[in-house]
Structure 1
Amino acid sequence: MRYCSTRGEVLGWDFQAVLFSGFAPDGGLFMPEEIPALDPTTLRSWSRLSYTELVQEVCSLFIPQHLIPRADLAALLSTAFSRFPLAEVVHVARLKDGLRVVELWHGATLAFKDLAMSCVGQFLRYFVSKLNRHVTIVVGTSGDTGSSAIESVRGMEGVDIIVTFPKGHCTPVQELQMTTIKEGNVHVFAADGTSDDIDVPIRKLFSDAGFVEQHGLMSLNSVNWARIMVQVAHFFYAYFQCAPSLENSPLPEVEIVVPTGGAGNITAGCVAVKMGLPVRLVAVVNENDIIHRAVQLGDFSLSESVKHTLAPAIDIQDPYNMERVFWLLSGMDSSLMKGLMEEFYSTGKLRLPPGLHKTVSEVVSSRSVTDRDIVETMRRCWEENRYLLCPHTAVAVQHHYQQQQQQLKHASLPRCCLATASAAKFQDAVLKAGLTPEIPAEIRALETMVTHSTPMRRGECWEGILREKIELISSTRKGGNSV
């Protein structure tokens, strides 16, 4: 298995090189040069596997054995999921009127990103130890990514991590999960801006190939293919948990509803579809609706500003993973993608070619919901099931309730909604729904801890601040000192 950039100027990289990277040197995103196709017999055999076993099967298709032998891969994944309190890692809540909620959030930070991040952290540990090298991870976050990335590598030998978050635009719990970490390899910056603002200097850093190589820079945002790869597995798991009998041919379809911000999860779903999984994907966004407009109208254009909603982790107007979706669904047309993405990043506007728009809308449907929808959905789910939704999961469940009412074309399909975080992380949204937050002891403990972060003020050169920090890390690690 080899990897290429979506923009076509980088080819033939192996998994190890892609793991230790961020954006490709040509500004694109790494993807496999081919997507393995699974036949119905394989899918039926996979249906008997546990979640951890499914992750292993998926990863083994994209990681050659000469890089990580199968026995080593199994051991790494076992370690990755050992911190999850549930033996099954992922739980499916079966609620009233056919509502199925796939709980992906039982990891250390109570967010779905722990699933992939814990695995990627173990892949890093494996290669860093083997190669005796040092890497510096650079992460921008809209909320959950930062804390999950920190948890995956905190205290890890040979690894430093820089996390930048938008001050005041994450929930208090999300900020505390990032700023209360004491390990010397964790460096947190609080930026006076939005998550999209943070992406700009980070993209510039990764476009400087010499700087990236000199300082061993890599990303643990979903720009990193390894994150997407692991997330592919939970689409298979959700399908097998929710599909009726697999004995008939063709295999039955299942609708999977995905709360969508940066589009990493939807990208993983599209990869699963290309592998042969018979699912219909629904991307549901909040009022930051660029993906919804792209699917419905072919209009992939930035709005004037990011709207701050009750679902802050998906308050994103520049969902960079859509480049992967467009590439995949264009038939891997890198030349087309280079032109489209250069137009988008130079003008902030893009009209999808008719053929690409048609294919995208056939694979992914979409919906946009308001804060009012979120609150009403959280309240209804509690009243009917005594089940608390986080506001992002409510974004997905709102689609289920709308489908019930309207009896649309695919309303009869089995459906599941991906739950991306615990409601405990979004207490203000729970209170606005008139409900009582359930706060675990580990969340309460954060409130008494000392916080540490470095401010990045509006008007300052954020790229320069990050460059200076990266250079300091490199010089001190070479000298054997702490930063």
Structure 2
Amino acid sequence: MWYISTRGMAPRVNFEGALFSGYAPDGGLFMPEELPQLGIETLRHWSTLSYPSLVKELCTLFIGPELIPRDVLNDLIDRAFRRFRHREVVHLSRLRNGLNVLELWHGATYAFKDLSLCCTAQFLQYFLEKEKKHVTVVVGTSGDTGSAAIESVQGAKNVDIIVLLPQGHCTKIQELQMTTVVRENVHVFGVEGNSDELDEPIKAVFADVAFVKKHNLMSLNSINWSRVLVQMAHHFFAYFQCAPSLDTHPLPPVEVVVPTGAAGNLAAGCIAQKMGLPIRLVVAVNRNDIIHRTVQRGDFSLSKAVEPTLASAMDIQVPYNMERIFWLLLASDSQGTRALMEEFERTQSTSLPKELHSKPSPVLSGPRLCSQVPRSCPGCRADPRDP
């Protein structure tokens, strides 16, 4: 399995290369050169598996035994999920009228990012120990990524982690989770500005290929392909738990509502769709609604400012994983993706071309969810006509 940049100007790499790279050298994000297509028999077999077993099957497809032998991969994933509080790791709660909630919060920091980061950290340490190397992980956070990343690598001898925490933009619990870890390899710094403003210098650092190589830098934000890979399992597990039957043809669709900030989990769902999983993705956002505007009106542009809400991890205006989604919708057209993203980076205001804007509708829909109950929030600007 090879990985290429969404912008098409960087050499292709294997999984190990994508894991350690973060952003591609041309500023794009790594994606699989080809997506495996899953037949009905494979899906039926996978429907009998536990969540950890689904992660193992997906990782086998995208990593390959020549990099991590299957028995070693199984052991790494078992080790990653050892500290989760629920025996199933992920649990589906069945509510009324066909509504279900997928519980992704049984990890050490109560954030769904524990699931992907604990696996990613195991892959990372496997390669580092094998090659006797050391890396410095740089993480900018809007809330839960920082604490989950710290939890996944704290105490590791071959990893130092630097977390940049935007002061006043995370919850108190998240801030304490990051600032009270007393480990020699954990370094947390408070910075001015919000998480979007923080992403700009981090991206500039990773664009300096020589500097990154000299200091062995990498990122564990959801720009990292490994994060997206593990999150694909959420969608497969949810589908198998909710589908009424896998004995019909075509398979019945299932609607999955994805609360999103940087759109990593959303990108994972889009990739699962492309592989043959019949899910329909509904984008749930708060007042920072760039993805909603993109899906509904093709308006991929920044608002004047990030609006603080109760869901601080979703207070993001630059959902960088939308680049992966655009690349998928453009049928792997790296030139078109590069032109779109470079215009966005230059002007911060882009209208999607008609041929692209017409494509998300069968794949994504985008209700705008307010951070307050509208009737109790006179200042709410949500349009009552929005779904």
Paired residue for 2:220? 220
* Cα deviation code 1:252-273 (max 9, x no counterpart): 1000000011000000000000
SS in 1 for 2:223: coil
Say whether the 8 Å CA contact 1:139–1:220 is kept in structure 2: yes
Letter in structure 2 aligned against 1:145: T
Query: CA separation of 1:23/1:374 partners in 2, compared to 1, >3 Å: closer, same or farther?
Result: farther
Q: Does 1:318 align with 2:315?
A: no
Question: CA shift at 1:356, angstroms?
Answer: 1.1
| Whole-angstrom distance in 2 between the partners of 1:374 and 1:132 | 55
1: CA distance between counterparts of 2:53 and 2:187?
Answer: 34
The amino acid of 1:246's aligned partner reads L
Aligned-residue offset at 1:374:
8.1
CA contact (8 A) 1:308 1:315 kept: yes
Equivalent-residue separation in structure 1 for 2:291 and 2:374 (angstroms): 18
Bigger Rg, structure 1 or 2: 1
1:15-30 matched pairs, under 5 angstroms: 15-30=15-30
Taking the TM superposition and a 5 Å limit, the aligned residue runs for 1:117-266 are 117-266=117-266
Distance 2:257 2:155 in 1: 36
The answer for the alignment partner of 1:32 in structure 2 is 32
**TM-score, L = length of structure 1:** 0.77
In 1, the alpha carbon distance for the partners of 2:91 and 2:42 equals 23
Partner of residue 62, structure 2? 62
Tell me the matched-pair count. 379
The 2-side partners of 1:297 and 1:21 are apart by 33
In 2, Cα distance between equivalents of 1:348 and 1:49: 44
Q: State the AA in 1 paired with 2:320.
A: Y
List per-residue Cα deviations over 1:335-383 (Å, max 9, x = no partner).
001111110000001111111111112201001122223898xxxxxxx
User: What is the SS of the residue equivalent to 2:142?
Assistant: coil
Change (3 A) 1:375 1:163: farther
1:263-302 Cα shifts (integer Å, max 9, x gaps): 0000000000000000000011001010000000011001
Q: Secondary structure at the match of 2:138?
A: strand
Query: Counterpart of 2:13 in structure 1: which amino acid?
Result: W
Partner SS for 1:350: strand
Secondary structure at 2:227's aligned position in 1?
helix
Asked whether the 8 Å contact 1:140–1:165 carries over to 2, the reply is yes
8 Å CA contact retained: 1:310, 1:374: no
* Counterpart residue number, 1:361: 361
Partner residue, 2:343 = 343
Q: Quick one: which amino acid aligns to residue 39 of structure 1? A: G
State the alpha-carbon separation in 2 of the partners of residues 263 and 100 from structure 1.
21
Task: Note if contact 1:269-1:281 (Cα within 8 Å) is conserved in structure 2.
Answer: yes
CA contact (8 A) 2:5 2:12 kept: no
Q: Greater relative contact order: 1 or 2 (C-alpha under 8 angstroms, separation 6 or more)? A: 1
Which residue does the alignment assign to 1:435?
none
Measured against aligned partners, the alpha-carbon deviations of 1:309-332 in whole angstroms (never above 9, x if no partner) come to: 111110000111100000011101
Q: Unaligned 5+ residue runs, structure 1?
A: 377-401, 409-483
> Structure 1 residues 110 and 375, CA, compared in 2 at 3 Å: closer, same or farther?
farther
Question: Does the 8 A contact of 2:2 with 2:14 survive in 1?
Answer: yes
The answer as to 2:41 corresponding to 1:41 is: yes
Unaligned runs of 5+ in 2: 377-383
Secondary structure of 1:96's match? coil
Partner of 1:442: none
State the 1:61 CA deviation: 0.6
Residue identity in the other structure for 2:367:
R
- 1:98-147 per-residue CA deviation (whole Å, 9 max, x = no partner) reads 22100011000001000000000100110110010010000000000000
Task: State the alpha-carbon separation in 2 of the partners of residues 374 and 172 from structure 1.
Answer: 25
Q: As a proportion of its length, which structure holds more helix? A: 1
Name the SS of the counterpart of 2:189 in structure 1: strand
Q: Residue type matched to 2:270 in 1?
A: C
Give the structure 2 partner of residue 73 of structure 1: 73
Aligned-residue CA RMSD in angstroms?
1.4
Checking the alignment, whether the CA contact within 8 Å between 2:104 and 2:112 is kept in structure 1 is: yes
1:369-412 deviation line (CA, Å, top 9, x unaligned): 22223898xxxxxxxxxxxxxxxxxxxxxxxxx9xxx9x9xxxx
Letter in 2 for 1:17: G
1:135 touches 1:159 (CA, 8 Å); kept in 2? yes
Q: Tell me how far 1:71 sits from its aligned partner.
A: 0.4
Does 2:280 match 1:280? yes
CA distance in 2, matches of 1:374, 1:139: 34
Distance 1:129 1:210 in 2: 23
CA deviation after TM superposition for structure 1 residue 191, in Å: 1.1
Structure 2 CA distance for aligned equivalents of residues 161 and 290 of structure 1 = 30
Match of 2:381 in 1: none
Asked if the contact 2:262–2:321 (Cα under 8 Å) also holds between the matched residues in 1, the reply is yes
**Alpha-carbon distance between aligned partners in 2 of 1:11 and 1:326, rounded to the nearest angstrom:** 20
Q: Distance in 1 between matches of 2:60 and 2:138?
A: 27
* Separation in 2, partners of 1:248, 1:98: 19
Matched residue, 1:393: none
Deviation by residue 1:395-443 (Cα, 9 ceiling, x = unmatched): xxxxxxx9xxx9x9xxxxxxxxxxxxxxxxxxxxxxxxxxxxxxxxxxx
Describe the shift of the 1:194–1:276 C-alpha distance in structure 2 as closer, same or farther (beyond 3 A).
same
Judging changes above 3 Å, is the alpha-carbon distance between structure 1 residues 161 and 63 closer, same or farther for their aligned structure 2 residues? same
CA distance in 2, matches of 1:356, 1:206: 29
Q: Distance in 1 between matches of 2:356 and 2:125?
A: 39
Instruction: Give, in angstroms, the shift of residue 87 of structure 1.
Output: 1.4
- Distance in 2 (CA, whole Å) between partners of 1:209 and 1:68 is 26
Corresponding residue SS for 2:190? strand
